[in-house]
Amino acid sequence: MFNRFIASLALFFTLVGCATHNTISDNQDSRLMLKGHDPVAYHTLGKPVPGQASIKAEYEGVTYRFMNEENRKRFSQTPDQYKPQYNGFCSNGMVYAIPLGGNHDNFRVINGRLFMFGGESSKKYFEMDLERNMKLADGYWNDEVKGGSARLQAWRRLAFKVPHYKTNRELAAEYEARQEIGRAHV
């Protein structure tokens, strides 16, 4: 009984300290954002560009890498303009208050904001109703997720789903139905 209590307590403290950013560990950078890709390049070049390990900046306790010194300076002047929304977690997941995923090569810049996605399907589903999904994701980020343990939040919302939750199968069916309607009107 005592061992189970100690194990539960250890698990709790491990999870409470879990990342609030979607980072990886890479050599000397233990909390590297965007898998080392330059956040400014998404805005200026419209594509993911690997940053150099020698050109980097720290912001909110995580490391960003840059392709050149000019991009590092731009980021350092206005980091909130360039950092990914929802600290790099999948934007479609945030519609359901689930901070998971987020891949450096699945993204979209919308109104100057960088949104990351776990895959092409997540991106398509988010784009089906941009205004609604951005509003939901922003609300859940600010009210439930921001500043907390991403793992605990994900587990909580996987167990206790938001009222509008849709499975990947349901989202795929909705996407396909919208495509059919679009093809019928052409």
**pTM (2 decimals)?**
0.87
Say whether 113 sits in a helix, a strand or coil.
strand
142 has a pLDDT exceeding 50: yes
157 has a pLDDT exceeding 80: yes
Q: How deeply is 32 buried, as exposed, middle or buried, from its count of CB atoms within 10 A (0-12, 13-18, 19+)?
A: buried
pLDDT digits (tens, 9 = 90+) for 68-101: 999 999 999 999 999 999 999 999 999 999 999 9
Q: How deeply is 64 buried, as exposed, middle or buried, from its count of CB atoms within 10 A (0-12, 13-18, 19+)?
A: buried
pLDDT digits (tens, 9 = 90+) for 98-135: 999 999 999 999 999 999 999 999 999 999 999 999 99
